[in-house]
Structure 1
Amino acid sequence: MLGSARTFGAHRRRHRYLRAAALAAAVALAIGACSSNSDEGSGAAGSSTAGSGTSAAASVTGLLPIGNAELQSIVESTAKELMLPGVVVLLRTPSGDQTVTYGTTERGGGAPVTLDDHVRVGSNTKTWTGTVILQQVQEGKIALTDPVSKYRPDVPGGDGITIEQLLNMRSGLFNYSETLELNEALDQDPQRTWTPDQLLALAFTHPPYFPPGQGYHYSNTNFVLLGLIAEQLDGKPLQEVFQDRLFGPLGLKNTVFPDSNALPTPYSRGYMYGTNVQTMTDPALPAEMQAEAKAGTLAPNDVTDGNPSWAWSAGSGIATANDLATWVEALADGKALDAEMQAVRMASFQPTDPTKPGGPEYGLAMAKMGPLYGHTGELPGYNSFMGSDPESGVTLVVWANLAPAANGQDPASGIAKTIVDAMFPPAAAPASIPAPAPTS
């Protein structure tokens, strides 16, 4: 089994959303079983399709079959329990593709969700930033052992922090998205445009969590620094860096690194219960508010139009389900790096908590989730999961347009966990899935 609900995601809880509600890709992709009995979902009945047969995974050696009806049931039951407006699932196997769509792009109405809808993918963006840095390492522009002070002399203690430690979340630098200042600002002025230097200034006013290399703490600060360094080395804006190095070569035509709060059409609106400050240290609403949500007397907030600049290179990306699947397959099978650098990356995974064997692992801007490699992401209103297993040929993408749920759960990660549990025998299934952190 994948393990407890709170360990499926590798970066969650207080890093939960790209935090400030933040980063759902943080360190505890904790997802898990859903426990609500609410029947309220605003979505229409879901639909599922399979590229070949009713159980695309059935013929894959070592995997347990999962039929269309079972996949549909997993999605619908979770969506109703967590009161999700919409969910999309894309499961690729060597035998074909299976897809499930549930609900609508707007709470209480709107068009049915589709695989073509664009959503905010939160901390999955970190894999773009990290991969660009690794490409620059390949090219000799930078070294994993370089101190960050070589490129950003303003980083406190930067002489002792390496590029590798930024990539694997072991720098100790304070996570700016855990600051009250940011969370209050996101609630009071959600369309504010943030610069990377403003985000770093929030982080640098706080002491580090630990000396470099002496622990693990999911921190968006690491990836804002890496984004600035990537721009510096290539001499162009990060949007162009991503397009030239990743999106163009891999044919990711529906993947965007935005410079505004707009989403390309078609897109799904995103919703969250409570505020960023309310869910800053615990994404679950107080019991009385959860009861109101279940009763339908407390509605989630529409947070679609919030400006994602506060997440920047750590979590402001946008994509469709198909593009996420193509991208995570490239991450896992090495299409984005040369063979030598891919081998370094795949050997880089370390436990996020050494006291918990079998728990989530994090490496060079990528998480290992049992047999799956990838990441999770969460920004207010959106939760996404992407994972791929090169050995079995299984790729799974899930997104939901409400995050967090009223009970604090990551909806997409929870659905992904249930699907992976159903497909992989207990010996192969992940004990936990590194999640998004609160983007991411």
Structure 2
Amino acid sequence: MKNINAFLIALLLSTLFFSSNTQAQQINTAKLDSFFNVLVNNNRVMGSFVIAKDGKIIYHKTTGYSQVEEDKKIPATAETQYRIGSITKTFTATMIFQLIDEKKLSLDIKLSKFFPEMPNADRITIANLLNHSSGLADHVNENGEWITNPHTKAELLDKIAKVKPHFEPGAKIRYSNGGYLLLGYIIEKVTGKTYAAALKQRITNKIGTKSIIAGTINNSQKLEARPYKFTGQWTAVKDIYFPNVVAVGDILSTPQDLIVFINALTSGKLVSAESFKKMKSFEGSEKDFNPTGMGLFRIPFYEKTFIGHNGGTYGSISNMYANTDDGMSLAFTTNGMTNFSMNDITLAMLNAYYDKPYKIPVFKTVDLKTEDLNALLGNYTSKDLPLKISITKSGSTLMAQATGQTPFPLDAVSKDEFKQEQYDVLLKFDREKHEMTLIQGGKNFHYVIEK
């Protein structure tokens, strides 16, 4: 649900022009195991990682724990289920196109038929909702911790309806979780079933998966991985309250079953050829490389193009992509990732499959004294950004929390510099002036501590 696709695309684009020879080789499993082992040994990730060829799994690595409760730790297994975040949207889009194939919906039907109270409802189409061009509000990313608490369906709809649209329908593309929440409710209205029941009937029963389920409350399933972050130890995260994001980001799955799903979708087992063509209709020129289709995204890797989706909640990161030309697919699901990038994991898996070079990460730690950290603590404000940042500590780990967001740990690069690799954040402190510089996306933002 967190909009992390742009980071993935940007990094993979950087590999696009280096070579045209990306024939699959036998995977060097020892090196890829070493890659993941280094991440595990440095408390960077817990999760499950799969590579497949023509739907057949040829590499699978599961790391970390599904549950951590004080001294009790339950190791994750191949059966552990993870929240897949926005990959859920591909399932939602698939069911919408099934209803289109059955002549029960069409891409040009207006939102006003189902939710006339929404702004611009008489001009927003099903197509606009699918490709994020509706202009409607995002009830997840625009509302911070509000989404972590239970809300009724009426409250969720009201949250979307009362926000002025960002633009006219079809004018731009802006990621909208709210649009997919409406698509999920439309599925329920048209089928007369709950989203979870429709998912089971229309997808999971057809492809024979057992782990893919929707409509469950947080941490209610026996095999469900709980969400964590590492702050000197793996600590629990208060995640999005998943009934708030049915059809948007609530599905549980293993990566193995995501492989089954993406291969069923790309091979024509779930929607018609015409509908699948529309799902991967990426408008715009190749130069612009618009990544957004209707329920699918695309990413480049050398001369190849992969289609699929990724997902992020407050406690999970997931990825699911396939190359329809050569049959390669990958999926991974996590319940803990700290100071490491989803992009680097994706690239390592792709490079391993296509026998391209990649490095085993090296993590350098800087040991700081308690007084070194204490001098940096406080609330920082900026004239450059309307975003306050609170600097705290958890044990010997410095923590940062922006307004309306969850706190995240920082790695010490030096006594005065701290980074968060996952979010491309670097914080530089001036101890004497009690100031801080936030560096992100190549831009600098000046902060001063509140007195």
TM-score, normalization: structure 2?
0.69
Q: Hey, which of these two has a bigger chunk of strand by percent? A: 2
Unaligned runs of 5+ in 2: 13-20, 357-451
Counterpart of 1:207? 164
Number of the residue aligned with 1:72? 33
Aligned mates of 2:120, 2:22 — CA distance in 1: 50
Q: Which moved more, 1:263-272 or 1:388-397?
A: 263-272
- Are 1:110 and 2:73 an aligned pair? yes
Mapped contact 1:24–1:379 kept (Cα < 8 A)? no
Equivalent AA in structure 1 for residue 262 of structure 2: V
Q: CA deviation at 1:193?
A: 2.5
Alignment deviations for residues 21-45 of structure 1 (CA, whole Å, 9 cap, x no partner): xx35655446869xxxxxxxxxxxx
CA–CA separation in structure 1 for the residues paired with 2:40 and 2:345: 9
Deviations 1:88-120 (A, max 9, x none): 111112585111122222357623322210111
Aligned equivalent of 2:246, options 306, 312, 320: 312
Amino acid across the alignment from 1:326: V
CA distance in 2, matches of 1:80, 1:210: 46
Query: C-alpha offsets along residues 254-289 of structure 1, whole Å, 9 cap, x if unaligned?
Result: 11102422443323221147xxxxxxxxxxxxxxxx
Question: CA, structure 1 residues 322+194, in 2 after alignment: closer, same or farther (shift >3 Å)?
Answer: same
* Long gaps (5+) in structure 1: 1-17, 34-59, 274-292, 427-440
1:92 correspondence with 2:52 = yes
Q: AA paired with 1:93?
A: K
Q: Which residue of 2 aligns with 1:248?
A: 205
Query: Matches of residues 400-415 of structure 1 in structure 2 within 5 Å?
Result: 400-403=334-337, 405=338, 407=339, 410-411=341-342, 413-415=343-345
What amino acid sits opposite 2:248 in the alignment? A
CA contact (8 A) 1:62 1:424 kept: yes
Alignment check: 8 A CA contact 1:75 1:87 kept: no
Q: Which has the higher contact order (CA 8 A, sep 6+)?
A: 1
CA distance in 2: counterparts of 1:368 and 1:164, whole angstroms: 18
Change (3 A) 1:380 1:61: closer
* 1:79 CA displacement: 4.0
Q: Distance in 2 between matches of 1:350 and 1:114?
A: 40
- Partner of residue 319 from structure 2, selected from 385, 388, 401: 385
Aligned counterparts of 2:40 and 2:354: Cα–Cα separation in 1: 23
* Cα-to-partner distance string for 1:168-189 (whole Å, 9 max, x where unaligned): 1111112111334xx2335xxx
In the TM superposition, residue 358 of structure 1 has moved relative to its aligned partner by: 6.5
Shift of 1:122: 0.7
Counterpart-to-counterpart distance in 2, 1:272 and 1:213 = 38
Question: Are 1:350 and 2:283 counterparts?
Answer: yes
Contact kept, 8 Å, 1:118 with 1:319, in 2: the verdict is yes
Q: How does 1:18-417 map to 2 (within 5 A)?
A: 18=1, 23=2, 27-29=6-8, 62-80=23-41, 83-84=43-44, 86-94=46-54, 97-107=58-68, 110-180=73-143, 183-186=144-147, 190=148, 192-272=149-229, 293=231, 296=232, 299=233, 301-303=235-237, 307-346=241-280, 348-350=281-283, 357=287, 359=289, 361-370=291-300, 371-403=305-337, 405=338, 407=339, 410-411=341-342, 413-417=343-347
What amino acid is aligned across from residue 395 of structure 1 in structure 2? S
| Amino acid aligned to 2:34 | S
CA distance in 1, matches of 2:288, 2:66: 37
For 2:184, the aligned partner's letter is G
Determine the C-alpha separation between the residues in 2 that align with 1:367 and 1:72: 28
Question: For the pair shown, which has the larger CA radius of gyration, 1 or 2?
Answer: 2
Partner of 1:171: helix, strand, or coil? Answer: coil
Which whole-Å CA distance do the structure 1 matches of 2:87 and 2:271 have between them? Answer: 17
Amino acid at match of 1:130: A
- The code of the aligned residue for 1:102 comes to T
Distance 1:219 1:410 in 2: 23
| Cα distance in 2, alignment partners of residues 350 and 424 from structure 1 | 28
Q: Distance in 2 between matches of 1:242 and 1:391?
A: 28
8 Å contact 1:120–1:316 — kept in the other structure? yes
TM score, norm. by length of structure 1: 0.70
- Residue 325 of structure 1 aligns with an amino acid whose one-letter code is I
Shift of 1:73: 2.2
Checking the alignment, whether the CA contact within 8 Å between 2:108 and 2:126 is kept in structure 1 is yes
Number of equivalenced pairs? 342
Matched residue of 1:229: which SS? Answer: helix
Q: Deviations 1:34-91 (Å, cap 9, x if unpaired)?
A: xxxxxxxxxxxxxxxxxxxxxxxxxx9822443101211222234445x235221111
Q: In structure 1, what is the Cα distance between the partners aligned to 2:5 and 2:153?
A: 19
Asked whether the 8 Å contact 1:270–1:382 carries over to 2, the reply is yes
Between 332-341 and 310-319, the greater mean CA deviation after superposition: 332-341
Partner AA of 2:196 in structure 1: Q
Identity of aligned residues (%): 26
Contact 2:39–2:45 (Cα < 8 Å) also in 1: no
CA RMSD of aligned residues (A): 2.9
Query: Quick one: which amino acid aligns to residue 283 of structure 2?
Result: Q
Q: Distance in 1 between matches of 2:36 and 2:265?
A: 26
Aligned residues of 1:272 and 1:402 also touching (Cα < 8 A): yes
